[in-house]
Structure 1
Amino acid sequence: MATVYRVGPDNDIALKLDRVSFDPRSHRLVIEADGRAYRLAVTGMGEGGWIRLDDAAFAVERVLVAHRDAQLVLAITDAAHASRLATEPLAFHQSFFAPLVDFNAVPLPGFSVAPYVPPAQLAVCTHVYDDPTMLRVWERHYARFVPNEHLYVIDHGSTTPAREVLQPATQLVRLPRGAADQANIAQFCNGFQRFLLTQYRWVIHVDVDELLVPQDGFDAFVARLAADPGPPRIVEPAHATDLVQHPDLEAPVDLSAPLTSQRRFLVPNAEYLKPALVSRPATWGPGFHYAVESFAVVSDPLLWMVHLAKADVGLCVERNRKWLGTPRSATDQVRVDHTHRRGDEGQTREAFLALLAGRSVLQVPGWMRGMF
């Protein structure tokens, strides 16, 4: 038998094997369910044979929700995952589940006989730190979904306050500035999303350089949300691309004009198939690229995510230099790789040209022209 526990003040995950031995130098661990295998990362061994697991990306939790009706087993293999050495039934101690309950989302008895009906339809939120240029683009785009009073900007201590950039009606939440920490800002946005869902039926959360673009148009998209009968769920776009400047063919961007009148190339990027639209609480991981509640995630075939980080060489270099100079927490330095961010204009040009030389490059479709 193998049993999973949650231990310590940081809720680390530990595994206890009852009948077999494990050597982290020559053995590996795999959870198996429904014919699929998920590798586990071992970070150390404790006294008495305890095995400490790295679950920074909620790997164990995501297996549980994806295979909630299946029998889970733990396989022990050699270091190359070529030979199976042992297979054990996998059980979970109650300590593993206690912190997973979102008590704030559980209805309290005796206070109402029917769910509270949110008074508004859709809110859109983002978080930003010293990125006024992209923030203007974000606000202009999402004001086509909803009036500005339903746009929310979390200003994480910008040196030039976001209030100086935004329209007066756009909502602003200003946080004190701490070191950059992807896990911490995800935790804050998870809570803020829950707050918004008490007053809105749907909430969109995106990074400030991410534009959701509905293929059926803004009005039709909002009408679809209004007419949707449920159930509450988490929605990701079916299409995700980078808008990429061709530095040999296209001039520096004029952000006061529509981007799609100045750029012609999209490069598909599956990293941005992000669960960005919710009508139920979602728990986003660092970077917002996935939700732990994968069982509730569905894809919208008419929804696109367009990422703007590569829409202009000069703007990309400026933003990368800002990021590379931003103090980061110790955890962020270990967990988040920023080596792809180039602060050199020549290297950035070459990177853009390399992307555009790939076989998957698309032309900006006609229906998208003028939408942003």
Structure 2
Amino acid sequence: MKKRILFVHETFGRMAGAEQNIQVTAPHLKQTFDLAFMYWNRSGKAESDFEAIFPDSFQVPFDGPPAETSRRVRAVLDKVSPDLVYVHKCIANPVLETLVAWGGPLVRMEHDHDIYCMRSYKYSPWNRRICTRKAGPCCLFPCLAFLKRDRARRPLGISWVSYRRQMRCIALNRRFSAMFVVTAYMRDELIRQGFAPERIHIFPPIPAPAGQTFSSSFSEANRIIFAGQIIRGKGLDALLRSLTLCRQPFRLTVLGSGSHQAYCERLAAELGLSDRVEFPGFVPFEQLASYYREATLVAVPSLWPEPIATIGLEVLRYGLPVVGFDAGGIRDWLRDGETGFLIPWMDLPAMAEKIDHLLANKSEARRLGEQGRLFVNREYAFEPYIERMRQTFAGMIGAR
């Protein structure tokens, strides 16, 4: 009889990277384990895919009255009788407290900074600087992290975050049997927050093999790609300012949408770049490759500390070099001079210089792209990744 794993996650269906990671890995884990799913909300996207993977799914109001939430979680545990619980995104303390009290093996996949940052993105919205402190009183002052930007809250656009609740969340997560993180940067961040190093395992969100890939034509169009959410932390505005320093002709294609898009469109016009920047909007994942066919490079100008920035792994598989800021976990895969160029954080002239260099030297761009393809296929191969995850789960269940 197969052992049972209960997934716990805020969302049922596709939403962003965390859900994509579940959708990619769960079918392979299902070959070894029986799977069930406990969630809070439904996304309305690709829910049928999740239903096929998780025929046993249970909705629980993570934000309900604590006693009722705890009762509902215990009922799911009793019904599923899991051998291991695998938590993805969930910072609801009543849920975590009930899982810890359950007493079985608990594994957390930490996709971002939610459990130890009151704002969840480890950088200041006021000056955009990356936070390097351990969570504690400094979150109150000088960080003022109890004030979180929330555009849905009117008229001020901010919400209140409980310091006491965040500290409790950290304490509960420290009691998990294992923490999975996506990069060495995230591992070091958890160690900074007081987590036991021996319980931390690096499992980057490797995409499933995409089949046949291709090499770009590196055409004379000098196309630069930005792909991702257009939100302030992704740094598209910094990229636009950097491009004003470039001497080579270029065409920037912005693939994505988000709350910062209107601002960036206005900024492109103010900087005189409107005729060289296009905003096609959101592009489905399966259509992105068509934009890579004539690109020369991909820019990853993130200013917040990216847990990993999976777009980098994706484009390296297509033999495209990357130019990006040294922010968070990006340095795990963006090896300076090997897979592209790693730029000191917010150094706009340096970014412009390296972009110019690749636009003017297509043979160098092609060489870095091919090295990147070899690197990602070697270091981020899917089958060894999923097998190591299976073995880790089996070992934890067997040690129970």
Q: Which has the higher contact order (CA 8 A, sep 6+)?
A: 1
Task: Identify whether the pair has TM-score above 0.5, normalized to the shorter chain.
Answer: no
The structure with the largest strand share of the pair is 1
More helix by percentage: 2
TM-score by length of 1: 0.30
**Highest Rg: 1 or 2?**
1
